[in-house]
Structure 1
Amino acid sequence: MVQQTQLPSNVHVSQHPCLLAKLSQLRSKDASAKEVKSLIHEISLIVGCEALAHAVTATPRPTAETPLGFSYQTTTLSPETISLVPILRSGLGMVEAISTLLPNPVPIHHLGLYREPISLEPVEYYNNLPDHVSSSSTSSQNRLAIILDPVIATGGTCAAAIQTLREWGAHRILVLGVVGAVAGVVRAAEEWPAGVDIWLAGVDQELTDKGMLKPGLGDVGDRLFLTIGK
Structure 2
Amino acid sequence: MIVHHFESKHSVLNRFIAEIRDIEIQKDSMRFRRNIERIGEILCYELSKTLNYDTKTVQTPFGTKDIALPIDKLVLCSVLRAGLPLHQGLLNYFDRAENAFISAYRHHPNGGDDFEVIVKYFAAPSLGNKTLVLTDPMLATGRTLENVLKVLKTHGQPKQIHIISVIGSKEGVAYIKKVFPEGTHLWIAAIDDELTGKGYIIPGIGDAGDLSYGVKL
Query: How far apart are 1:74 and its partner, in Å?
Result: 4.5
Contact 2:2/2:183 (<8 A) preserved: no
- Please point out which of 3, 19, 38 is paired with 1:11: 3
Q: Which runs of 5+ in 2 are unaligned?
A: none
Contact 1:176/1:199 (<8 A) preserved: yes
- Please point out which of 60, 84, 92 is paired with 1:66: 60
Identical amino acids, percent of aligned pairs: 24
- Give the equivalent residue in structure 1 for 2:14: 20
* Aligned residue identity for 2:15: A
- Give the equivalent residue in structure 1 for 2:78: 86
Contact 1:145/1:165 (<8 A) preserved: no
- Give the equivalent residue in structure 1 for 2:212: 224
- TM-score w.r.t. structure 1 length? 0.83
Query: How far apart are 1:167 and its partner, in Å?
Result: 4.5
Matched, 1:77 2:70: yes
* 1:189-228 paired onto structure 2 within 5 Å: 189-227=177-215
* Aligned residue identity for 2:65: Y
Deviation sequence 1:33-60 (CA, Å, 0-9, x none): 0110111011111112112212x03211
* In 2: Cα distance, 1:126 partner to 1:112 partner: 5
Classify the secondary structure of the residue corresponding to 1:178.
strand
* In 1: Cα distance, 2:58 partner to 2:47 partner: 29
* In 2: Cα distance, 1:48 partner to 1:182 partner: 22
Q: Judging changes above 3 Å, is the alpha-carbon distance between structure 1 residues 216 and 76 closer, same or farther for their aligned structure 2 residues?
A: same
What is the Cα-based RMSD across aligned positions, in Å?
Answer: 1.9
Name the stretch that deviates more: 112-121 or 30-39.
Answer: 112-121
Contact 2:101/2:122 (<8 A) preserved: yes
Query: How far apart are 1:87 and its partner, in Å?
Result: 0.4
- Give the equivalent residue in structure 1 for 2:162: 174
Q: Which segments of structure 1 move beyond 3 Å, counting only runs of 4 or more?
A: none
Deviation sequence 1:166-185 (CA, Å, 0-9, x none): 44321211110100011111
* Number of aligned residues: 208
Q: Judging changes above 3 Å, is the alpha-carbon distance between structure 1 residues 165 and 172 closer, same or farther for their aligned structure 2 residues?
A: farther
Name the stretch that deviates more: 35-44 or 116-125.
Answer: 116-125
Classify the secondary structure of the residue corresponding to 2:99.
coil
- Please point out which of 6, 18, 24 is paired with 1:30: 24
* 1:150-169 paired onto structure 2 within 5 Å: 150-168=137-155, 169=157
- Give the equivalent residue in structure 1 for 2:121: 126
* In 2: Cα distance, 1:57 partner to 1:130 partner: 21
Contact 2:99/2:125 (<8 A) preserved: no
- Please point out which of 38, 45, 48 is paired with 1:42: 38
* Aligned residue identity for 2:100: H
* In 1: Cα distance, 2:20 partner to 2:54 partner: 36
Between Structure 1 and Structure 2, the one with more strand by share is 2
* Aligned residue identity for 1:117: H
